[in-house]
Amino acid sequence: MMNLTDLKPAAGSTHKKKILGHGRGSGHGGSSTRGTKGQKSTSGGARASWFEGGQMPLLRRIPKRGFTNKPFRKDYACVNVGVLEIKFSGDTTVTPESLFENGLITRKTVLVKILGNGDIRKPLKIRAHKFSKQALEKINACGGTAETIKC
């Protein structure tokens, strides 16, 4: 009957463990197979893979300029009140969908801002995401209403 305790590796397939730092007689005393002197010969001598030997690291050598707010910025499609005067008749509701249908904006889903360039004389009910101060004054002066859409 065979037991697990009887199992042994084949002869010559295993090596003797290297014993470091146990005096000159062990064959691995003194510098313990690390060579003589140098950065990697002492404990704590290992460096990170990105370490460049004390040279100024690549990331710090490259110039860095400016700031970007791209992930958080909101882009608005701007439409002037003078264009609304031309494209829409009086007493109509102007929405982002109607602006898209009239070709004033490129997508239905874009945020819309109404600017005050031009004159408006028709009382329009305008629904947009943002209004400039001049646009609000001109819309209210002609009897129209400006409603802000939450985005």
18-67 confidence digits (pLDDT tens): 898 899 888 898 888 898 888 888 888 888 888 888 899 999 999 999 99
The distance from CA 43 to its chain's CA centroid, rounded to whole angstroms, is: 40
* 8 Å CB contact between 138 and 103: no
CATH of the domain at 94: 3.100.10.10
pTM over 0.95: no
For residue 93, the cross-strand partners are: 125
* Count of structural domains within the chain: 1
Assess if residue 4 is contained within a domain.
no
Q: How do residues 75-108 score in pLDDT, each as one tens digit?
A: 999 999 999 999 998 889 999 999 999 999 999 8
Tokens of 92: 């109509």
Assess if residue 96 is contained within a domain.
yes
The rounded distance, in Å, linking the Cα atoms of 27 and 21 is: 9
Assess if residue 38 is contained within a domain.
no
The rounded distance, in Å, linking the Cα atoms of 89 and 47 is: 74
Beta-strand pair 76-80/111-115: parallel
Domain, as residue range, for 92: 72-148
Assess if residue 66 is contained within a domain.
no
